[in-house]
Amino acid sequence: MSDVELVEVVSAEAGMRLDRWFRAHYPLIAHGALQKLLRTGQIRVDGGRAKANARLAAGQQVRVPPVKFDAVRPKARRGLSAEDRRFIQSLVIHKDKDILALNKPAGLAVQGGTGTTRHIDKLLDGLQFDASERPRLVHRLDKDTSGVLLLARNRAAASALGDTLKDRAAIKTYWALLKGVPSPRRGEISLRLVKKGGAGAERIHIAEEGEAGAMKAITRYAVIEPAGSKLCWAALWPLTGRTHQLRVHLAAIGHPIVGDGKYGGSDAHPGGDISGKLHLHARKIEIPHPSGGNFRISARLPDHMLKTWKLFGFDPDLESEPFEDEV
C-alpha cells in the first residue's frame, strides 16, 4: 500500500470492532503495527480518531494509511482430516442461514489453552458448509459440561447473538444431578464470585464482603425429581454467565453437582453405578433469532447422564419448563 485509502464499511460488517475489521481486510499487518497505527491516530473513522474496540456502522469511512507489511504471514490453518470433519458435523443439531447449534460432548473444550490441542474452535472449518464465512463462537461451555452450544454463521448474526447474550436476554436451562435435595426446592442463589490462584491453579471462590475483583452472580434452581434424600435431578438457570458459576453456587449451598470433585470434593462422588463424570448438561436455550422471532433448541443428554437417569427412572425427554412462570 503506497497511498491513503478510504474504505467504506458495508452492511454485513456493521457492529464489527475496528481492529477486527482491519485484520479482516489487511491480514498481513502485525498486531503491534496495527495497535500503533490506532494509537497514533493514523487509522481514523469518518475523519476522527477511534479506539480498537470501536464498533463500526454501515456507511462509515475508515482511513487506511500507507502501511508496510512487515509482519510474518499468519500461519495457515491445516486442513481438517476427514475424520475430524465427520466428527464435528456429527454434533450439529440445528442449521439455518444464521445459526448452527451443536450438542457438545463432555470432555471436548470449546477453545484451546495450555495442553489443549483438540477443541471446537480448531474444528470450525468443518462447519462452514455452504456459507461464505467460517462460523463464529458466540458463547462457551466448560470442557466437562455437555449440551447446547450456539455458533453464528455470519458477522451480523454474531453481533446480534452476542448482544443478546451480553444483555442476558437468553434463557439457558441446564440439567444437573445434585448431592442431596435443596430446601426449599425452588430458589435463587445470589453470591458474588472471585477468581483466585495462579496460572494452572485458578479456582473460583465465593467472594468476601467488599473483596476486590468480585463479580455479581445469580443462579435460579428448581428440583425436578428427587432420588430419595441423597440425590436429585435439578434444573438450573444462570441469570449471569460467570466462569464455573453453577458449580460454585451449588457447592456453596451444600448440594454440589455430582462428578464435580473440584468444587464438591468427595461429596460429589456417590460411587456405585453412578459415573464419576460431571453431571451438568446445557439442556436448552431460548434466544431471539437474528432474523426475527424466537429460537429454541434442546440437546439430548450425554451417555453417562442417560445411564444415571435410567438408573433412577428419570425421564430424559421431559419437556416441562421449570422456569416458565419466572420469565
142 is catalytic: yes
CA angle 281/283/285 to nearest 5° reads 130
- How far apart CA 46 and CA 81 sit, in angstroms, is 44
Half-sphere exposure of residue 219, counting CA atoms within 13 Å on the CB side?
Answer: 25
Contact status, residue 263 vs residue 248, Cβ threshold 8 Å: yes
Distance of CA 127 to the CA centre of its chain: 17
CB atoms closer than 10 angstroms to residue 197: 10
- How far apart CA 39 and CA 241 sit, in angstroms, is 32
Strand pairing category for 5-8 and 218-227: unpaired
Catalytic residue among 19, 98, 142, 260: 142
Which position has the grid cell 458435523? Answer: 89
- How far apart CA 262 and CA 227 sit, in angstroms, is 23
Length of the chain: 327
- How far apart CA 226 and CA 220 sit, in angstroms, is 17
Strand pairing category for 146-152 and 280-288: parallel
Contact status, residue 214 vs residue 301, Cβ threshold 8 Å: no
Which residues are known to be catalytic? 142
